[in-house]
Structure 1
Amino acid sequence: MAAATPAPERLRVPHQAGAPNLVRRWLRESLPDLTDDIRDDLLVVATELVSNAVRHARPLPGGEVSVSLVAGHGDVEVRVVDGGSLTHPHVLSINLDSAHGRGMFIVSKLSTGWGARTLGDGTQEVWARIPVR
């Protein structure tokens, strides 16, 4: 018999600048068994996805952003849902001297995969998988 897939953990945070801090705290508490290296990668990726949602997208009804987490057998996946935006996240050619535009490049390097899609209700979901080595 196949092992049951763990239920995703979910957190709703205010669509504001302090949201990444709340998400980092939640992730540290939700995943205490991860090694420091994996947890650090996950925190960086989740912070970037939430920061992008706050900076570039509208909030969900209630003024929030939803973050969910699924721990799989070989990875941990973080998903961020916001109220949608006119653009989708994408990786830019980076300039190391630039103060902006490096976030999705970092996400692409730390994850085994990532993506974004607009859902039927106009909300946007962005996800990334972090390998558990």
Structure 2
Amino acid sequence: MNHNRPVRPSNALEAVASPPADVLFPLPHIPEGLGAVRRRAARAMEQWCIPSDLADDALLVVSELITNAVVHALPPASLCLSRQRSKAAWAVRIEVTDAGPALRDHGGGSRLPEERGRGSTIVAALSARSGTMTYHGGTTRWAEIQVTTP
């Protein structure tokens, strides 16, 4: 994700004809605020006509990545959803960018060890591709959910 690139604004005619290809959400840095971000992400995928089973997978990936950013990383954090097209398929690309790892773990101390660390496994299982980009001042974790075209 290129954070120097502005999110493309759309005029009313474009919004009716074709929902925006990129949607950017700032993340509140409290776990209680993430439900609203997830609902907004669900609405974006609904506008993009993503099949419900794939949208559910994408929303689980969104949940894992945004929770990781809020619990384990420094603010600010943001979620970017985009649609990307290849010759045979569409992909929903999910990117969560934060300011890098926190010096200490916040909020995970009361969880049992077997309840922790499954997020990356879930993301990898549901995604066609996923990865992490680390750079000066932050980290972006990303995943792509394939939506095959008929």
- The two structures share one fold, judged by TM-score above 0.5: yes
Listed as ranges, the gaps of 5+ residues in structure 2 are: 1-19, 104-112
Q: Which has the higher helix share?
A: 2
Larger radius of gyration: 2
The amino acid of 2:45's aligned partner reads L
Deviation at 1:31, TM superposition (A): 1.4
Aligned residues: 114
The aligned runs of 1:54-93 (5 Å cut-off) are 54-60=70-76, 65-73=77-85, 74-85=90-101
Letter in 2 for 1:30: A
Output aligned runs, 1:116-127, within 5 Å: 116-120=132-136, 122-127=137-142
Show structure 1 runs of 4+ deviating over 3 A.
none
Preserved contact between residue 65 and residue 141 of structure 2 (Cα < 8 Å)? yes
Partner of 2:45: 31
SS in 1 for 2:140: strand
Aligned partner of 2:118 in structure 1 is: 102
Tell me the TM-score normalised to structure 2 length: 0.70
Matching residue of 2:64: 48
Q: Percent identity?
A: 35
Deviation, structure 1 residue 7: 4.1
AA at the equivalent of 2:40: W
Deviations 1:12-42 (A, max 9, x none): 1211112431221011111111111011000
- Residue 22 of structure 1 pairs with residue 46 of structure 2: no
Once the 2 structures are TM-superposed, how far is the Cα of residue 75 of structure 1 from its aligned partner?
0.7
Q: TM-score, normalised by structure 1?
A: 0.78
In the alignment, which residue of structure 2 is the partner of 1:3?
Answer: none
